[in-house]
Structure 1
Amino acid sequence: MLSHGLVTLLSAAVLTTVPGTAAARPANHPDPGREGAWAGYSIGRSATEGVPRSAAPRAGGVAGMDVSGHQGAVDWAKAWADGARFSYVKATEGTGFISDSFGQQYDGAASVGMDRGAYHFALPDRASGAAQANYFIDHGGGWLPDGRTLPGALDIEDNPYGEMCYGMAPQQMSDWIAEFSNTYELRTGRYPAIYTTTRWWDRCTGANPDFGANNPLWLARFAPEMGPLPAGWDFQAIWQFANSGIFPGDQNSFNGDAAQLERFTL
C-alpha cells in the first residue's frame, strides 16, 4: 500500500499556467495547440516505442478508444457500431486547462452504452500532485461505482513543453505520482489508472516498482507487440497500440473480456 503522507515539492513547481506557455517544447514534438497535449503525444520520439501507426481493433480483449479536444465532437453512435466498448476522455491538464470537448465526449460515450472514464495530462513541474488530482476530480475526473465509470487515469509521459522528466529527480517524480494517486483515492475510494510508456517510467521514476500493486496500468506503445512493461507491473489493464484506426482518436484494447471490463468499473 502506498503511503498517504504528503510529500514536499519544490516551491517553484506550484504554477497554474495555461498548457504550452511555460517553456519551449522539445524537438520532435508537434505543437499541442489550444487543446494541449494528449495521451500518446510523446510516442514516436524514441524507436524503442515504435512509431505512430493506423490499426484495426486487435483480436482478443475488448476494443476501445481515447479522445481529447483534438477530435472535437465525436460520432459516438458510429464508434459503437464499429465495435468500441469503452473510451477514455481527456478532462484536464495541469491546473489551468479544462477540455471544451469533455462534456460532449464523456456524456456521449455513456449515451450509446460505452463504459467511459476521464484522464488528466500531468504537468508535475506546474503544481503539486494533490493540487492536480483535486483539479481533475473537480472538473469531471471523479469516479462512481455505477458499473459504467472507469477509474480516472493519470497520463504521465514525456514533457510536451520542456525536459523529458520535468526537471525532477526519480524520487521527486515518484513522490509526486504517489501524492496524486493517494489524493485521488482519498476522495473517490479508487486508485487511478496510470497511463505511461515503459521508457518514460523506467527513466523518470528510476524504475519504481511500488505502483503496480494499486494502480492499473494503461500502457502506451504503438507497435505490433507490447514489449516489456514498466517496472512494478506484471500485466496491463489497457494497451494503447495505435494513434489512428477505425475509431476516432487512439486505438486501445482492454486486457480481458466484457465481464472483466464491467468488473473494472466497480
Structure 2
Amino acid sequence: MGALKLNDSSFISYRVHLDESKGIISGYSITDIGGKYETKSKITGTFNKEKGEISFKEKGIIYTKSKVTQYDFCFVNFKGKLSNIQTGKAVKGKFKGLYTDGKECISGELNLVNVAKIERQAVKLEKKVKKTKLVSQAKKDKVNIVKSLDTLALNVLREDQNMSMFTKSRTVNLNIYDSGKEDGDKITITVNKKVLLSDYTVTKKVKILSLNIDSDETDIEIKAIGEGTVVPNTAYIEIKDEENDLKVLSTLKKGKSTKITILRAEK
C-alpha cells in the first residue's frame, strides 16, 4: 500500500495485491482507495527472484467509480526492484501511464510499503495514543487506527454514487446478505428501472439474483427502504461473473440509493 506521485506533484493512494507462480504475476490494483474515483484493475507481470526485479502492468478495469471508460483510462506500467518485501521496506520506482492503444498519458513515481508493516505501525501508534495523558479519554475512545485500515479494504457504495463494473460474461449473479448482526435493514433493487426485489429484509441467508446481460449497459439501483435498529442501512452485495468475484457494501440512509452499472466488455 502506498501512493502514486504524478508528474504534477499530486498524490493518489494506491494498493496492489500480487500472486506469483514460477515468475509469473497476477493480481489487481486499487487506485484512489475509498475515494470517489476508486478503481480496481487487473494486473499481469513477471518477477525475477534472483535479481529482485518486478515488472507489472494494469491490463483492464474490473470496476470504477469514475465516469471514465476503459478506453480512455490511464493504466500504470511499472518496472523496478522488489527487495526485502517481508520486512516491509519501501518499493520505489518510476511508472509510465499508458492508454490501451499504447499512447503515453500521465506518468510519475510509485512508492509502496508492505501492508503488514503498516498494520504493525498502526497497532504501535494506537497503543501510544491510548497511553498518553495529552489526549482526553473521550477522544481516545474514538481512535481506532487498525479498524480504519480495515475499512480501506472494503468497497463501500454510498448514496448517489455510481460504480461501473466491466464484464465479458452474459450472466451475472448478485449475492445479497448481511455479514454482521441482523437488524432489519430493508432494500429494493431495480434493474434497468424494473423492480427485481421489493422491500426485501437483508439477512445472513444469501439471496441470489441471476441477471442476463443482454445489453451493453445494465443499471442496478439499490435503495434503502428501512434502516432497521442500527443505522445506516447496510447490505453486502457480491457480484459474480465468469472471472470476477466483487464484494461491495452499500451504506445508505433511509430513502437514499446507490447504483451499479454493469458494462459489457469485449471478449
Greater relative CO (CA pairs within 8 A, separation 6+): 1
TM-score (norm 1): 0.25
Question: Greater share of helix residues, 1 or 2?
Answer: 1
**CA radius of gyration, larger in:** 2
